[in-house]
Amino acid sequence: MLSLRKGRYAARLAETPADILAAQRLRYLAFRATDTHPEGADADCFDAVCRHVLVEETRSGTLVCCFRLLPLKGGAEIGQSYSAQYYELSALETFDGPMVEMGRFCIHPAWRDPDILRVAWGAMTRFVDEEKVEMLFGCSSFKGTEAETYMDAFALLQDRHLAPKRWLPRVKAPNVFRFGQMLRRRQPDARRAMLGMPPLLRSYLVMGGWVSDHAVVDRDLNTLHVFTGLEIRAIPPARKRLLRASAG
């Protein structure tokens, strides 16, 4: 049973329907809440087949972060993933090691402590090690659906972080922003790019992660998202040591 405690925060797997409902309510707050509908539950058919990780502030018991994990035996099962609804992933069908999809990652909007993300990655690292996962993947989301807000971030992704051709996801969704084509000649401002990058995606990138050459415009969740992959063996050794220290 995955369990990790660091400082003020503790990560664990959801054990009860009430745990999963708490995660769904936090997801709603992060992705769907409006002034007229501030509370609700974000739920879909993938919740029943995923494992849900909760990060809580130990003194108050407040749920400050959550995400879900869908383990796959290998690339042959990639079509069962949430991401496969939005990306054509046949290139990854030949990946021959265990994989896990991380989805619906969110941090409570009122909590900005960077230790929350560190504990989340520590829990993720422990899961990857215990399950002998060889690829971590998912959709990394930018808030809002206006690509112009994130031009420097997308230009940086195009310039430095596109997927290897052998794994490159193809377009499937009807509404996408093809930054890989459109921003080839744009020189990104690195500082503005990193400020616009979601924290989860920044974490993937410093570990050697890569992205699709297009972003999906998801009006349901009011996000732009890119497919993100990370081959575990490609993580730099120094970064692996830091991750395992956080998972210890």
CA 95 to chain centre: 20
Which pair of structure tokens corresponds to residue 215?
């972003």
pLDDT on residue 246: 77
Domains of the chain: 3-247 (3.40.630.30)
CB burial of 212-248 (b: ≥16 within 10 Å; e: otherwise) equals bbbbbbbeebebbbbbbbbbbeebeeeeeebbeebbe
**43-71 per-position pLDDT tens digit:** 999 999 999 999 999 999 999 999 999 99
Mean pLDDT in residue range 226-241:
93
**21-32 per-position pLDDT tens digit:** 999 999 999 999
Average pLDDT over the chain reads: 95
- Read off the DSSP letter of residue 168: P
pLDDT on residue 227: 98
CA distance 161 to 212: 9
pLDDT on residue 247: 74
Statement: residue 130 has pLDDT above 70: yes
**99-117 per-position pLDDT tens digit:** 999 999 999 999 999 999 9
CB atoms within 10 A of CB 17: 8
Statement: residue 248 has pLDDT above 80: no
Coil, strand, or helix at residue 143? strand
CB atoms within 10 A of CB 9: 23
**136-186 per-position pLDDT tens digit:** 999 999 999 999 999 999 999 999 999 999 999 999 999 999 999 999 999
Are the CB atoms for 54 and 43 separated by under 8 Å?
Answer: no
pLDDT on residue 89: 98
Statement: residue 209 has pLDDT above 90: yes
Statement: residue 1 has pLDDT above 70: no
Give the closest residue to 65 by CA, choosing from 18, 112, 2, 125. Answer: 112
pLDDT on residue 60: 96
